[in-house]
């Protein structure tokens, strides 16, 4: 039999913190089953500490909270839930995935080199090219699924950065192997775990140092909130990130924190149901004569399948497929009725996206070539509707 504390299964961890923390939270929220939204900017202080010295932390905080840019009870509850789901020392919640990523890069200095995969969310590539490079950071792109990544690391390399599976090409990298390479060179291993969520994959337990999430996606799960997370293994790194976050001020607002907390309650059942739908859709797509390629990491024939089996507990619900012409791809976007043509992923409703014109519009030609993304590829974020309704809609869109 399981004892209490942190040994619970992931389904339970989506809803509850360790028993002692749950008791403490219930005591401070009038036993509220749904954790409240603490919609306040500031917290009242009972006085000044007796041993007050100028420049020191001198206010006695009866509640442990001071000002919501620094911390807020609703956000803190969410951060604790996400930290336990990713098995990290701590998590920080931000106003978007991009806010989390740009904050993370405050750790690096001019002249530092970051080795990054060639298939990344387009907004991240834009951040590297347009903002981080101007601050003197250097980026080296490689194909993490094929190249000898270790040969690219130098004494200037401070981090390696990748998604697995990647958005949108579903390419899979070996987290444990890459973390080992990074650590041999004193570099930080950063993994964007948005595509699978902590329900299916925990990079920190495989050796990664920092996990990123666009919380907008599977964690919030309902296409109704924008959020981001950083989760780290090392408590000192968590504290450094918290200092940077408090100072720069992109932390997630109380109401949005509550929306993500509520979304996470159903993470397990949403992930399972969406994956079940995705498997049926992949099987159907493979039989369509207008579909020339289907990219899904759960395909036993795919390059990354063996690594997926080793490092993840599932394959997720993101499917990319290539049609036989650009015209058919563009037409499909406007023909879908149950499925929405929209730019996001990971929510209850199924969304169809045109990566070259949307999520990856700002990715340079050479990186598109390296990842294999072209103008005939559509990305499907499978939701939790009926699979047969989704297939009927896709049939009309690509065969109609």
Which residues carry out catalysis? 69, 121, 192, 217
Q: Are the CB atoms for 219 and 268 separated by under 8 Å?
A: no
Rounded CA gap, 400 and 395, in Å?
7
In the bound complex, what is the minimum distance in angstroms from residue 163's beta carbon to ligand PLP? 5
Rounded CA gap, 8 and 21, in Å?
14
Q: Are strands 47-48 and 59-60 parallel, antiparallel or unpaired?
A: antiparallel
Q: Are the CB atoms for 227 and 263 separated by under 8 Å?
A: no
Rounded CA gap, 176 and 202, in Å?
11
> How distant is the alpha carbon of residue 116 from its chain centre?
16
Which residues of this chain interact with ligand PLP, rule CB under 6 A?
Answer: 96-98, 121, 123, 163, 167, 192, 194, 214, 216, 226, 228, 359
> How distant is the alpha carbon of residue 281 from its chain centre?
23
- Three-state SS sequence of 157-170: EEEEEEECCCCCCC
Which helix (DSSP H) or strand (DSSP E) does residue 378 occupy?
strand 377-381
In this structure, what is the dihedral angle of CA atoms 12, 17, 23, 26, given to the nearest 10 degrees?
-90
Structure tokens at 369: 């070539």
Which residues, 6 or more positions from 185, have their beta carbon under 8 angstroms from its beta carbon?
150, 153, 154, 155, 157
Residue 97 or 347: the one with the smaller Cβ distance to ligand PLP is 97
Tell me the backbone φ, ψ of residue 267, rounded to 5 degrees: -55, -50
Rounded CA gap, 383 and 400, in Å?
22
In 3-state terms, what secondary structure has residue 236?
Answer: helix
In 3-state terms, what secondary structure has residue 362?
Answer: coil
Q: Are strands 228-232 and 113-117 parallel, antiparallel or unpaired?
A: unpaired
Strands of the sheet containing 157-163, edge to edge, are 90-94, 228-232, 210-214, 188-192, 157-163, 113-117, 138-142
Rounded CA gap, 100 and 92, in Å?
8
Cα radius of gyration (the chain): 22
Instruction: List the beta bridge partners of residue 322.
Output: 293, 377
> How distant is the alpha carbon of residue 32 from its chain centre?
29
């Amino acid at each position: 039999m399981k004892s209490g504390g942190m040994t619970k299964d992931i389904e339970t961890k989506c809803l509850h913190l360790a028993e002692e923390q749950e008791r403490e939270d219930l005591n401070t929220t009038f036993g509220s089953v749904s954790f409240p939204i603490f919609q306040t900017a500031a917290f009242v202080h009972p006085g000044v500490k007796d041993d007050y010295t100028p420049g020191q932390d001198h206010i006695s905080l009866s509640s442990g909270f001071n000002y919501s840019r620094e911390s807020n009870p609703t956000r803190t509850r969410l951060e604790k839930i996400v930290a336990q789901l990713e098995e990290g020392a701590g998590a920080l919640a931000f106003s978007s995935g991009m806010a989390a990523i740009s904050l993370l890069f405050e750790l690096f200095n001019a002249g530092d080199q970051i080795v990054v995969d060639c298939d990344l969310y387009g907004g991240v590539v834009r951040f590297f090219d347009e903002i981080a490079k101007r601050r003197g950071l250097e980026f080296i792109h490689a194909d993490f699924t094929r190249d000898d990544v270790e040969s690219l690391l130098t004494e200037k390399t401070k981090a390696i950065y990748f998604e697995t599976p990647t958005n949108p090409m579903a390419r899979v990298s070996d987290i444990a192997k890459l973390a080992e390479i990074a650590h041999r060179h004193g570099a930080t291993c950063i993994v964007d775990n948005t595509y699978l969520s902590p329900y299916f994959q925990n990079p920190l337990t495989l050796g990664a140092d920092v996990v990123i999430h666009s919380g907008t996606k599977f964690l919030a799960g309902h296409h109704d909130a924008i959020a981001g997370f950083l989760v780290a293994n090392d408590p000192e790194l968590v504290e450094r990130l918290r200092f940077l976050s408090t100072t720069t001020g992109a932390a997630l607002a109380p109401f949005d924190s509550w929306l993500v907390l509520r979304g996470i309650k159903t993470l397990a059942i949403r992930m399972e149901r969406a994956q079940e739908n995705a498997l049926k859709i992949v099987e159907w797509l493979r039989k369509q004569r207008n579909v020339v390629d289907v990219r899904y990491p759960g395909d036993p024939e795919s390059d990354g399948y063996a690594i997926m089996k080793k490092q993840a507990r599932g394959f997720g619900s993101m499917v990319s497929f290539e049609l036989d012409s650009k015209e058919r791809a563009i037409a499909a976007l406007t023909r879908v009725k149950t499925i929405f043509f929209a730019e996001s992923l990971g929510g209850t409703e199924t969304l169809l996206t045109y990566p070259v014109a949307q999520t990856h519009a700002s990715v340079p030609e050479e990186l598109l070539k390296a990842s294999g993304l072209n103008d005939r590829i559509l990305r499907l974020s499978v939701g939790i509707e009926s699979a047969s309704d989704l297939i009927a809609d896709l049939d009309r869109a690509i065969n109609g």
